[in-house]
Structure 1
Amino acid sequence: MTPVSLQRAALCAALLAALPSVGLAQQANNDPLYRYQWHLMNYGQSVLGDARPAFGLDLGIDDLHDYNIRGKGVVVSVVDQGVEIAHPDLAANVVPDGSWNGLNGSHDPTPANGRNAHGTAVAGIIAAVGWNGIGGRGVAPAARLKSFNYLDGGGTQEEVWLTRPELADVQVSNNSWGSYANFLPTVVDELDIAAWERALSATRGGLGTIYVKSAGNGFASWRASDDGVDVWDVCNDAINRAGVGCQQSIWEESNGYFNVMVIAAGDASGVRSSYSTPGASIWVTGLGGEYGWQAQGLRNGGYSEAVAVGQLPVRYEPAIVTTDLSGCVRGYNTNVRGGFRNVLDGDASLLDNTCNYTGTMNGTSAAAPTVSGVVALMLQANPKLSYRDVKYILATTARQIDAGQAEVRDANGTVIAPGWTANAAGRRFSNWYGFGLIDATAAVTRATGFKSLPALLDSGWQRAVLAAPVAIGNAAAPARASVRIANRVGRIEAVQIGLSTDYRHAGTWGNGGGAVASPLLVTLTSPAGTRAFVLPAHSGYGGDVLTIPFTAVNAFLDEAGDGDWTVAVSDVDLAAGAASAGNLTSFKIRILGH
């Protein structure tokens, strides 16, 4: 056995000992597409996609399903496009009359538009029914599902997160969606943040619903639109050459909420999925894969790679196999959508001719539900876990992948984006992966009998006192501001910051304009000396004056909160001795922990 296999075997043995009432399942593995679901069990097998997955690179489900850890008793809401609740591989897990169609007020959110298959694919990743002789299975194949068609225009974020009566028994909220902006408004109201966090914490009888949210798919391409019709890519060659990511996860307000886990995507080889948005607010990584193309599939469908290049990225590494809108005229897998991408596509497929499944689901939209499924397994093992407990367990049991991820330097040798770093408490963090790839067996084992974290301590917003604006110099002479936190938080669970400058970028966002490759580098240094990259230089910025009114910076988990916190802002393109083009005008920080 490999070291990883030995470690997992030990974890499974410990779990079985901790759950003496759980017996091994005696059901045959009769889900015909399960073998292609490398994200569940990966032994290097041939899957959909012409590149094989790296052995052992999966969610670490291992024997959990055999021990009947399948998400039983846990309700997950899919806040997305509507889910086809009568799908043959979902219906048995859908809560009757538990969903909400915000467009017509009914309990059936099944999409009327046959192209809106996203929610159905997400739901299948979480909780497709297992051992029923069709399709594959979900990460938590016994969890219950509710659907809210928010992305179809059904309801507000407040309704689908907080106020709808159908949410009363929801424990996990999956949100495979994100913002389309490379900037935030100049001001994000602190009272509004506090109101959201109080309300989110009060759900689930005060334990707090676990909100799982996609980071985005904007590493190298980010689509924007002013009118919903004219769409363009705000990224450009200058941004992509920098290699730090066009989009950053910090540019969405709800990604900074203490209650929300922001999820990056990894592929089947154990590195960042090509599209996965990085950022200081990433928490952990799920599995989203790549695009799942196969040369044989292209030939079967009369689909040439030359045609494909003009429509979608052509990548032959595996994507995620999951449920699709049923039938061959709707969804991702059809006979009428310009050809096939792999051998699962079409009604002549020898794997499954129903077209009820797709092998091309990907994105952080696919990674988030892998995390939601693992959370459902954890909550079956220990329903008393709070949202803080779940976040902490996932972070501290995650596996480091892509251990050789290198820091990125510009032409002057300045580090403009980090690789993996270790904080003063020994926690490893990456802006690409957060605390690493989730490990289901390790997380469930830790969850069993977990002693909840102590009462939450909150420093409140503390502000730097600046006698005057501080000039933004080059990398050797950044603008700095500090705040001292005293006798407020012993061990950090989250850090939130805000800052403003009067530094004005050239370029336009609207009417087809692109983001600029901002030369500004923003870092935050803890009292213990850990340096986190809040905004890497040369990432995309679509605003005018640089302002970061609110974001989470997650690299400081388990460090001491008290002491001097210092933000630094530099213009890495500014020549030595040149006049500054702007100033740091404010800085604030909030520490949460225990």
Structure 2
Amino acid sequence: MHRHIGKRTVLSVATLLALAAGAAQAQQNDPLYRYQWHLMNYGQSVLGDTKPVSSVDLGIDDLHDYNIRGKGVVIGVLDDGLEIDHPDLAANVVPNGSKNFFVTATRGEHDTGPNSFGQDGHGTAVSGIIGAVGWNGIGVRGVAPAAKLRGFNFLVTTFFLDLGPFGSFSRNDQATDANIRYAWWDGAESKDVQVSNNSWGGMGPWPDAFSENQIAAFERPMSATRNGLGMIYVKAAGNDFNSVNKDQGAVKCNADTKLRNVGCMQAFLDPRNNLFNVMTIAAVNAAGRRASYSTPGAALWVSGLGGESGVQRQVLLDQGIAPERIDQVLGPEAFDPAIVTTDLAGCAIGLNTNGLGLNRLDSSRSAIDASCNYTGAMNGTSAATPTVSGVVALMLQANPKLTYRDVKYILATTARRVHPDQPAATAADGTVLVPGWTRNAAGYFFSNWYGYGLVDATAAVTRANNFKSLAALVDSGWQRSAAQPAAIGNAAAPARLSIPVAGIRRVESVQIGLTTDYAVAAPPVNQTSSPLPLSVTLVSPQGTRSVVVPASMAVASGGAAFTLDLAASNAFLDEDATGNWTLEVADIPLAAGAASAGNLTSFKLRVLGR
């Protein structure tokens, strides 16, 4: 079921005829389409100094030609706004259908153009990846070029500003639970939204408190949307593989964490990434590998295409930037292709202005497109997420009756296993901290870098067309271990607590929580984070092991005992849940035979499936 890059799912004539009444011949072209390697990649030259690896794309293939373009699907974009009158978006924006959380004397309720500072083009770039108008003679094409867009500009500045290898910057003045609820299910403008794109996130270098009541307060109304079918919530994992989220001020990722290659932060640290209704999305670059910034973790579901930075060295040199300065500031991945999409119109604001140009598309001096209405430098899981949202729109056009669980299942079971030789992350003594790809007991491959792999649009639409919906959801509820606390030893002697589960024959997702009295040491003087010494692994009754919390991830704890209210693992798809689920907590730095520094005091588990 999982294919390597280069292998295709080809639609049969019968399937094509079933999906569309007939092919629409393109009357006009989109001039920048050739640079959109994420849509169609044959190894062509694009923006950036390296070429994409052929076939590293979404597998759209002939879908658009056969009118599978997201028609009839409404997508909500939660971001810093979308430019509703952008020339390449306006025809797909629902008239008077967006929510402006920053109504002013000059900006109306439905004007979701850029936020009050007028500088951020993030939401407009995201919207173009999803639903830029196709075949209109200008610009770019969306993954779902016939889908309708509603904007929800609940961010005062970019909550997740993607800086690729430089990390991310966050600010969430208006990213309140009330505004999220409004856009996710409660607001008038959200009632007909079928897909919710969330290219934002919030996490710090220590697990947040998130109660069972909070989980239920989100998941119950989310499941009730679309008349009980459930809206499809697609959310960015984060951009903190090499950095700590910048909203944490002076906190920086420590050198040991970077050396171990486990990722400075983990996707579970944003509690909403662990909700059952949410698909958390990682980013793949144009070489078919984890994008340099993409936040890893067991909470991932699948990957989209986020690219790197799209910088062209000669363009910088032509602007008088010294070569040594370029090499000092930029890593090699900066010159790999980014995503080409819409930008705020004009050259005064947005990602593409008449300032410093990163590639041949930038500025009014561009011979490719002088309008500055587009950018070739969009990246991050913020870019990968809308590629998945667009694919979901294609699936819902093919089969509008799909539930949110159906969509998740189809995407996971049709994803392409990129980077099949992904290496394990190891400690100095060779102890495996996080494995590469792991095959679960049901035969599916899962990776903490990629989830179930890169989405494949043609395979997903083919399966969606005649998909028989999954059986009714079975929820084990929160179950708790009745055993006494267990001493935390080294990797050979971890603390273990188990919980029996019955009545679920096919797992879809697992959520856990735990407490310890293990006090994680505060970072050393002159350091703002330290490598976590604890490893948390969940073992299924069938023997599949999933690293939920890897040792060596960056933490800034101040000496607190390690406690985790909520983390998800999606590594057990379709396994039989019957039997004992075991949590293992190990102190990786402890030498063999060393005394425990603490205890695993409680363990809770919730299994969802059918």
* Counterpart-to-counterpart distance in 1, 2:556 and 2:84: 39
Residue 545 of structure 1, CA deviation: 2.0
Pick from 423, 427, 440 the counterpart of residue 410 of structure 1.
427
Pick from 221, 231, 244 the counterpart of residue 199 of structure 1.
221
Residue 64 of structure 1, CA deviation: 0.4
* Counterpart-to-counterpart distance in 2, 1:322 and 1:223: 25
Correspondence 1:228-243 to 2 at 5 A: 231-243=249-261
Matched with 1:45 is 44
Pick from 504, 528, 531 the counterpart of residue 542 of structure 2.
528
User: 1:8 corresponds to which letter in structure 2?
Assistant: R
* Counterpart-to-counterpart distance in 1, 2:149 and 2:305: 20
Does 2:289 match 1:289?
A: no
* Counterpart-to-counterpart distance in 1, 2:516 and 2:5: 50
* Counterpart-to-counterpart distance in 2, 1:386 and 1:135: 34
* Counterpart-to-counterpart distance in 2, 1:325 and 1:431: 35
Pick from 245, 249, 252 the counterpart of residue 263 of structure 2.
245
Does 2:558 match 1:556?
A: no
Change over 3 Å in CA distance of 1:116–1:256 after alignment to 2: same
Residue 274 of structure 1, CA deviation: 0.3
Matched with 2:377 is 360
Which whole-Å deviations, capped at 9, do the CAs of 1:181-218 have from their partners, x for residues lacking one? 12223x42112211211100001111000000000000
* Counterpart-to-counterpart distance in 2, 1:6 and 1:476: 40
Please give the root-mean-square deviation of Cα atoms over the aligned residues, in Å. 1.9
Given that 1:140 and 1:374 are in contact with CA atoms closer than 8 Å, whether structure 2 keeps it comes out as: yes
User: 1:139 corresponds to which letter in structure 2?
Assistant: V
Which whole-Å deviations, capped at 9, do the CAs of 1:501-558 have from their partners, x for residues lacking one? 111122259x996222112111011000101111111111233321121111000000
Change over 3 Å in CA distance of 1:149–1:477 after alignment to 2: same
Residue 163 of structure 1, CA deviation: 1.2
Matched with 1:163 is 186
241-250 vs 306-315, greater mean Cα deviation: 306-315
Residue 299 of structure 1, CA deviation: 3.0
Given that 1:505 and 1:516 are in contact with CA atoms closer than 8 Å, whether structure 2 keeps it comes out as: no
Given that 1:221 and 1:233 are in contact with CA atoms closer than 8 Å, whether structure 2 keeps it comes out as: no
Change over 3 Å in CA distance of 1:305–1:334 after alignment to 2: farther
Pick from 340, 346, 355 the counterpart of residue 327 of structure 1.
346
Residue 398 of structure 1, CA deviation: 0.2
Given that 2:317 and 2:323 are in contact with CA atoms closer than 8 Å, whether structure 1 keeps it comes out as: no
231-240 vs 117-126, greater mean Cα deviation: 231-240
Matched with 2:281 is 263
3-state secondary structure, aligned to 1:182 = coil
Pick from 427, 439, 445 the counterpart of residue 456 of structure 2.
439
Matched with 1:210 is 232
Residue 307 of structure 1, CA deviation: 4.5
Residue 161 of structure 1, CA deviation: 1.2
Does 2:561 match 1:539?
A: no
Residue 233 of structure 1, CA deviation: 4.9
Residue 576 of structure 1, CA deviation: 1.9
Residue 386 of structure 1, CA deviation: 0.5
Matched with 2:166 is none
Which whole-Å deviations, capped at 9, do the CAs of 1:96-132 have from their partners, x for residues lacking one? 0111110116110111423211000000000001111
Does 2:513 match 1:491?
A: no
Q: Structure 1, unaligned stretches of length 5 or more?
A: none
Matched with 2:55 is 56
Matched with 2:493 is 477
Given that 2:5 and 2:416 are in contact with CA atoms closer than 8 Å, whether structure 1 keeps it comes out as: no
Matched with 2:599 is 583
Pick from 334, 340, 349 the counterpart of residue 366 of structure 2.
349
3-state secondary structure, aligned to 1:359 = strand
Matched with 2:528 is 514
Does 2:472 match 1:455?
A: yes
Matched with 1:127 is 131
3-state secondary structure, aligned to 2:382 = helix
Q: Structure 2, unaligned stretches of length 5 or more?
A: 157-172
Given that 2:36 and 2:340 are in contact with CA atoms closer than 8 Å, whether structure 1 keeps it comes out as: yes
Which whole-Å deviations, capped at 9, do the CAs of 1:252-281 have from their partners, x for residues lacking one? 111111100000000000000000000010
Given that 1:425 and 1:558 are in contact with CA atoms closer than 8 Å, whether structure 2 keeps it comes out as: yes
* Counterpart-to-counterpart distance in 1, 2:227 and 2:586: 45
3-state secondary structure, aligned to 1:293 = coil
Correspondence 1:102-141 to 2 at 5 A: 102-104=101-103, 106-111=109-114, 112-141=116-145
Given that 1:296 and 1:343 are in contact with CA atoms closer than 8 Å, whether structure 2 keeps it comes out as: no
User: 1:70 corresponds to which letter in structure 2?
Assistant: R
Change over 3 Å in CA distance of 1:347–1:512 after alignment to 2: farther
Given that 1:255 and 1:281 are in contact with CA atoms closer than 8 Å, whether structure 2 keeps it comes out as: yes
Matched with 1:23 is 22
Residue 8 of structure 1, CA deviation: 3.5
Residue 223 of structure 1, CA deviation: 3.2
Does 2:118 match 1:96?
A: no
Given that 1:12 and 1:441 are in contact with CA atoms closer than 8 Å, whether structure 2 keeps it comes out as: no
Given that 2:35 and 2:46 are in contact with CA atoms closer than 8 Å, whether structure 1 keeps it comes out as: yes
3-state secondary structure, aligned to 2:65 = coil
Given that 2:4 and 2:416 are in contact with CA atoms closer than 8 Å, whether structure 1 keeps it comes out as: no
Normalising by structure 2, we get a TM-score of 0.92
* Counterpart-to-counterpart distance in 2, 1:158 and 1:574: 44
* Counterpart-to-counterpart distance in 2, 1:528 and 1:197: 28
Correspondence 1:421-432 to 2 at 5 A: 421-432=438-449
Change over 3 Å in CA distance of 1:432–1:564 after alignment to 2: same
* Counterpart-to-counterpart distance in 1, 2:457 and 2:13: 14
User: 1:537 corresponds to which letter in structure 2?
Assistant: A
Residue 313 of structure 1, CA deviation: 5.1
User: 1:559 corresponds to which letter in structure 2?
Assistant: E
* Counterpart-to-counterpart distance in 2, 1:569 and 1:174: 35
Matched with 2:241 is 219
* Counterpart-to-counterpart distance in 2, 1:466 and 1:260: 32
User: 2:54 corresponds to which letter in structure 1?
Assistant: F
* Counterpart-to-counterpart distance in 2, 1:103 and 1:92: 23
Matched with 2:170 is none
Change over 3 Å in CA distance of 1:257–1:423 after alignment to 2: same
Matched with 1:393 is 410
User: 1:322 corresponds to which letter in structure 2?
Assistant: T
User: 2:346 corresponds to which letter in structure 1?
Assistant: G
* Counterpart-to-counterpart distance in 2, 1:170 and 1:421: 35
* Counterpart-to-counterpart distance in 1, 2:50 and 2:14: 35
Residue 180 of structure 1, CA deviation: 3.2
Change over 3 Å in CA distance of 1:313–1:145 after alignment to 2: farther
User: 1:128 corresponds to which letter in structure 2?
Assistant: A
103-112 vs 306-315, greater mean Cα deviation: 306-315
3-12 vs 444-453, greater mean Cα deviation: 3-12
Which whole-Å deviations, capped at 9, do the CAs of 1:405-458 have from their partners, x for residues lacking one? 011221222111110010000011000000000000000000001110011111
3-state secondary structure, aligned to 2:515 = strand
User: 2:93 corresponds to which letter in structure 1?
Assistant: V
3-state secondary structure, aligned to 1:151 = coil
Does 2:515 match 1:500?
A: yes
Pick from 192, 198, 204 the counterpart of residue 175 of structure 1.
198
Matched with 1:317 is 336
* Counterpart-to-counterpart distance in 1, 2:432 and 2:336: 31
Given that 2:82 and 2:124 are in contact with CA atoms closer than 8 Å, whether structure 1 keeps it comes out as: yes
Given that 2:183 and 2:189 are in contact with CA atoms closer than 8 Å, whether structure 1 keeps it comes out as: no
Matched with 2:161 is none
Given that 2:6 and 2:56 are in contact with CA atoms closer than 8 Å, whether structure 1 keeps it comes out as: no
Pick from 146, 153, 158 the counterpart of residue 149 of structure 1.
153
User: 1:26 corresponds to which letter in structure 2?
Assistant: Q
* Counterpart-to-counterpart distance in 2, 1:526 and 1:29: 53
Correspondence 1:371-390 to 2 at 5 A: 371-390=388-407
* Counterpart-to-counterpart distance in 1, 2:324 and 2:6: 46
